[in-house]
Each structure stands twice: as C-alpha cells, then as structure tokens.
Amino acid sequence: MSAEQRRESVIRAAIVEFARAGYHGTSTEAIARRVGVSQPYLFRLFPNKQAIFLAAAERCLADTRRLFEDASEGLEGEEAVHAMGRAYQRLIADDPEKLMMQMQTYVAVAAAEAAGDHEFGRTLRAAWEALWDSSHLALGADENETTTFLAYGMLVNTLVSMGFPAGHRVWSGFYDSARPAATTGPATTGPATTGPAADESGGPSPG
C-alpha cells in the first residue's frame, strides 16, 4: 500500500474515531490501531494530531459539498432542494459518523476560538464557506434559499444528534418526505420543511 493510500486510510479512520470521541477524547494511538499502523508511521503521514483532525473534518465537509453538487446537477428550484435533501438523508442514515464528525468539528473550532486559537478554524471555515458557495449556486444563487436550506439542515442535524424518534412532535414542521422513517429511526431525515419558506425551499444540510 502506498503512502497516499495509507494517508487515505488514516483520514477515514480518523473520521470514525473523532466522530465518536471528539478532538480531545481521541488518541492518535486509537487512530493508528484502527488503520493498522504504528504511531511513528502515522506521524510520517501527518505531523501531529491537529493535522489529522483538520484533514478528517475538511474531508467530511468536502464530501458533503460534492454530495450536493452531484445530487443537484442539472436541476433547479425545488427539484434541486429535494434532490439535495434526499441525498443528505441517505448520507446521515448510511454513514452516521459523517454527521457526528460535523458536530465534533463545530465543538473543536468553538473550543479553539474560546482559547484564543483563531488559526485552528481557518481551514475549516474555508471548507464550510466552499460548501455554502456550492449550495448557493445549486439553489439559484438566492441568499434566502441558501440560508433557509442550511438553517433547516442544522435543525435536522440537531434533532438527529439528540436522538428524537420518528413521529415525535418536533418533526411535525417538516414535509412528510423529510420526517424520519418509522422503521429506521431519526437518522433517516430528508428534505424540506413547512413553515414560512416551505413552499420555496428548506432541506437538510450541514448547518
């Protein structure tokens, strides 16, 4: 296996480990063990734990951006909204670590900012901005559409992360297609919402 393949394996393993235990709760030993390499070899691929976390978090955001781009290709308006929402629904249902990694990313950046480390989040803010820009274009470059889509996406992230079950009243403001499936639980949320902007936009995405 090449060094590049090993690096890819480290990023995938890091997403799982950091998603479950957060930045401070995850050891490089745990990541190395999941990959099947020694810690010294791990640090030949990445200079330190922070670099591993940043690579994992950036990858998570980039994957979500590409997911939206692929889902919305050739579509406009509500068709794009629902396609992006359904794609995100599948993502967090099939790969819940991606959602957990998102939430851990926000926590890690907020903690760094509170500690006065403003450089830590620079790369991740750029990655999130790229996600915003990509979604913005897919939604017709309408700021209200983009804001609504991402805002309801964070609500979906919150409800799924909190484990609210299918059928709970907190999901009542979403379209039927956006509510969790009763047979699979809250991790199968989907696009669009009711409410003030329901006729125009609103779908799950990273907040």
Q: For 37-67, how does the pLDDT look when each residue is reduced to its tens digit (9 = 90+)?
A: 999 999 999 999 999 999 999 999 999 999 9
Collapsing DSSP to helix, strand or coil, 181 comes out as strand
**Predicted pLDDT at 1:** 74
pLDDT at 204 (0 to 100): 53
- Block residue for tokens 């799982």: 16
Q: What is the pLDDT of residues 1-35, one digit of tens each?
A: 788 899 999 999 999 999 999 999 999 999 999 99
Confidence of residue 94 (pLDDT cuts 50, 70, 90): confident
**18: which residues sit within 8 A by CB, 6+ positions away?**
26, 53, 56, 57, 101, 104
Which segments of 26-182 does DSSP mark as H helices, in order? 28-35, 39-45, 49-72, 77-94, 96-114, 122-138, 143-162
Q: Say whether pLDDT at 192 is over 80.
A: no
DSSP state of 46: S
Alpha-carbon gap, residue 17 to 11, rounded angstroms: 10
Residue type, 59: R
Distance (Å, whole) CA 23 – CA 49: 9
**H/E run at residue 16:** helix 3-25
Distance between CA atoms of 59 and 54, rounded to whole angstroms? 8
